[in-house]
Structure 1
């Protein structure tokens, strides 16, 4: 239940922020899920996903 609430909150934030921040949030969401599935390292995955998402958004811009 908590993960559903967090996912909805993340999607709501995605719609209200700029491109670079949106890249961070999208990357953090994907990285958090991947890290959790890979071995219960959701926070580490979220941090790495944020960094990569932010970099890709700035590169695209």
Structure 2
């Protein structure tokens, strides 16, 4: 029984980590995955959905911040040649 719960949790983490585009900033996908995992982990689907939503939003916000940081990185300006 415990091994199936652990397997469900690992699948949940893998699915949440593998999501590409975030819908509603990750809450919808996270809630769906969390609800399924919570259901199989002792009929706690609502608790799982809330937790999945929180995790999904966190991952979506982190991804957005990483993309914004990558977009704002500027290549160093080329140095002008010394005047003669």
**TM-score, normalization: structure 1?**
0.66
Structure 2 runs not aligned, ≥5 long: 1-20, 65-84
Please say which structure displays the higher CA radius of gyration: 2
Richer in helix (by share): 1
Structure 1 runs not aligned, ≥5 long: 1-17
- Structure of greater relative contact order (alpha carbons < 8 Å, 6+ residues apart): 1
Structural RMSD (CA): 1.7
Task: Find runs of 4+ consecutive structure 1 residues off by over 6 angstroms.
Answer: none
**TM-score, normalization: structure 2?**
0.48
